[in-house]
Structure 1
Amino acid sequence: MKKLRILFLTLLLPMFLLSYDNITAQTPSYISGPTGVACNSNAVFFFNPGTVREMVLTGPGDPDVVPIQTVDCDPIANWTVRLPNGSIRTFSARSSISVNLGSTPGSASISATTSCGNMGQTSTASRSVVVGGVRLSTPSLAGAYFLCNNSSATYTISAVSGAVSYTVQAPSGWRINNSSATSVTTTNRTITLRAPSSGISSGQIRVRANAGAGCDINSNFRTRNISYGRRSIDIFGPTSTAPYNLIAYNCSSLGISNFNWTVPSSWNLWSGTNQSGIVVESPGSEGTYTIRVTGTSCGVTVSKSINVRVSRGGGPIEDPGGGGIFIVGEGDVGLEKGNGEITKSNADIIKMYPNPASDVLNFRGSKNQEINSLELFDLQGKRVRSQLVDVNSPSMDVKNLNTGLYIVQILMKDGSSLMKKVQINN
C-alpha cells in the first residue's frame, strides 16, 4: 500500500508542476530610483524582486499532501544598463547598484533579473531614466527690422557660452549668406540676409545655438520678424476737432524715412516737422483744412493727405483709437464748457506753478472752479499720469518723468476742462 501511495504521488507531482503557472502568485517586482539624472553623475537604483509561491513536499510522513508556500527570490540579480549612446553595461549585484549614466543626453534604461525558488521561475523589472544635459542659452539676432525687396542687411548673432555653431533658418525666397538654402549652420556670428525680390510681407527668421561634444543640448530657437517690400504711408488722427485744440497725428515709420509734414498756415505746428508724428494746435476759425505728409520708402516718394474739419461742436477731447493717437484738448489757457463752446477766459481761472517743474505741480483755482482730477500727456498723446486730487490742495507728482514738454488736462467738477503746457526738467 505504501509503495502504491508513493507511485501515486510520483504520477501526481508532474501534474501539479504542469499547472503551476495557473495557481501561483507573485508580489510585484520593481526598480526604484530617479527618473532623471544629470550627465556624468552617479545614480543609485534598488531592485525589489518580490516573492513567488511554489509547491514543496513536507516529508515522507504524509506524501500525498503537496502544500504551496511563499519563497523569496535570490537577492543576487543580473543588472543591465543601456546608456543613451547605445552602449550596454552589465552587473551582478545584490539589491542595489550605483551607476554613471554617461555624458550623452537622452533616454537610458535599467533592468534587473533574478531567479526565484526551486522551480525555474524568474523575477524581472525595468525602469526608464532620462539623462539630461544643460540647454544652451537662446541667442538673439540684432539688425534691421525692414528691408526693401532684393536688398541685404548684416545681422549679428549674440554669443552663447558653449556653442560651437549657430543655425539660421529663413522662409523660401530669402537668402542667407548668399545661399538659397532655407537653413544654414555656421560658426560665424555675423550673417547676411537678403529679402525676396518681390512682394510686400514679413519673414520669420529663426536662430539657434548648437552644442558640441559633451552633455550640452542645443538651444531653443529665437524668432524675429523682418518686414520687406515698399510701404505706403498713412496718417492716424482725428478728422474733426474744435478750435484751439492740441492734436497729435502719427504715421507708421516702418520702412519709411524722410518725413515732411505740411499743415495750413493758420495752424500752429508744435513739434515733429521731420518726424513720424506731429503735434499741432487747430486754429480759432472754423472750416476744413488739409494736413499732408510725405516720406520715402525703398527710394520712392510716398504721400498721404487728410481733411480735418474745425468746428465749435468738435469737442475738447476725442480718442479716435489706434496707434495711441489722442486729441489733448484746448490751447494753453482756456475753459471748455460741457456743450463744446470754447471761451478764451482769464488766465487767473487756474494757476499752475512752478513751470518748469521737476518735483510737484501745484494748482490753484477760484472758489467757483473746483478741480476734480488731473491728467498729463506727452506730445505724442500718450497719457503718462492720471490722478484724482484733494480739492483743498490740488497737485500732481511729476518726479521720474523724462525732461520735455507736456500737456496737463485739468478736469473740473462742473464737467469743463482746461489745458495747460508745462515744461518738466528732471
Structure 2
Amino acid sequence: MNLADSELVLGLLDDDNYSLTEKMEDADVVMVNTCSVRENAEQRIYGRLGEFKAAKIKKPEIVVGVLGCMAERLRSKLNTEEAKGVGQIVDVIVGPDEYRKLPSLLNQAWHGEKGIAVQLSRVETYDDITPLRTNGISAWISVMRGCNKFCSFCVVPFTRGRERSRNYFNIINEVEELAKRGFKDVTLLGQNVNSYNHDGKDFADLMKAVAEVDRTIRIRFMTSHPQDMSDKLIQTIASKDNICKNVHLPVQSGSDRILDLMKREYTSNHYRQLISKIKTEMPEVCLTTDIISGFPTETEDDHRITMQMLEEIQYDGAYMFKYSARENTPAWKMADDISEEIKSRRIDEIVTFQNKISAKRNQATIGKVLDVLIEGDSKKSSAELQGRTDGNKMVIFPKENYTPGMYIKVKITRSNSATLFGTIHHNHLGVTI
C-alpha cells in the first residue's frame, strides 16, 4: 500500500512539474513514505532521515519531507531524543489523507516555512489522481482507504482513518488504461478489500468486472479480513482464469482466546471453514497468512495451537512477526507481559516450522510446468530472469531471448522455501490466461 501511495504522490508532483530523479545528489526534494504497523519500521525511518541529514549538510537548500502513516506520530517526536537528532532537518510532514496539499507545502518550504498537514479524512480516496507508475508490468491500485475493524493491536484506523471505497467505474477505467499501456499484472489493494462497497457493488462484483477488462492481465488482491470473506468472492476468484489463485488470509493466531483479545471477530473454526471452502473451489490455490507471536498473555498452549494451525492448513508462505505494542491501541493498554526472550524463541519456532512447510509445498512443484510472467533480471545474476506464477511464487530461470512482460512456461527443476528454479519449456511458449 505504501508503494501505491508513493506512486500517487509522484503523480501529484508530476502534475506540478516536478520530475523524478534516481540520485539523491540530483534531488531538490527528498521524501520518505512511512509505515506505522511495526515498531521496527519507525526505527528504519530515523535511519533513513539520518541519510537525508547528511545530504542536507552538503546541500542545505534541499527540502526533506516525511509522508504517510507516521506523520502525526512523528510530528510530536521529531525534536525528541528518540528521533536521534534528525528532527530539525524535516521541512514537510504530510499524512496519508493530505497529499493534495503537498505541492503548496513544498512551496512553503522553499520560502523557509515548515509545512505540516496530518488531518484524517472520511471522504478522501484520491479517485481523480493518476498515479505515476514506472514499473510497466505490474500495477497496484488502491480500491479503498482506511479500516473500520479496530483490531486491538493495530494502529491503522488511527493513522489511515475510516473505510472509504473508490468509485467502481473509475477503478475499471484505470484498469482499462493500464491494459492499453501493456501492463500484465494488477493488484487491487485495501486494508480490508473484502469490505469494499460502492453504490451496491461489492468486492466480488469489482473483481469480476476488472478481470473481464483484459483476460491477458492477471488480477490479484490484498488484504482480506476473514470476517468479510464471502462465498461469492471465493466463487468469483475460482470462476475467472485470470484472477490469480493466490489468497492471502491473515489468521494472526490459532488460539480462540488470543483472537478474542485481538478483537479479530472470528473463531479459529470459522477460519478453518473458510480455508476448506477456498481449497474446495480452488484445489491448486496458494495460501499465505500473517502471524503475530507473543501477544499479551499468550501462553505456551496458545503458541502450540498456532503451530498446529500452520501444520493443518499448510500455507505456502507467511508473514511472521513478534508482537510490538503500538501506542494508543487497545492492546497497548494491556501489560506487554511476554519477555523478549520468549517472544524471540516462539517466533523462531514459528518461522522455522513454516519455512519447512513452504519448502515442502515448493518441492511439490518440481517437475511441473508453470505459467510465469517475466518481471526482469534476477537480483543475483544478470544471466537469469525472474518472474512470478499465478500463485505468486518467485521463479528463477535462464535468460535466453525473453524480455520482461512476456508470459512463458517454465519447468521447475529445484526449489527452496522461498523460490522456484527451472528451465524454459520450449515446446509450450504460448500461455493462455
Instruction: Output the TM-score relative to the length of structure 2.
Output: 0.23
Structure number with greater Rg is: 1
- Using CA pairs under 8 Å that are at least 6 residues apart, name the structure with larger relative contact order, 1 or 2: 2
Instruction: Output the TM-score relative to the length of structure 1.
Output: 0.23
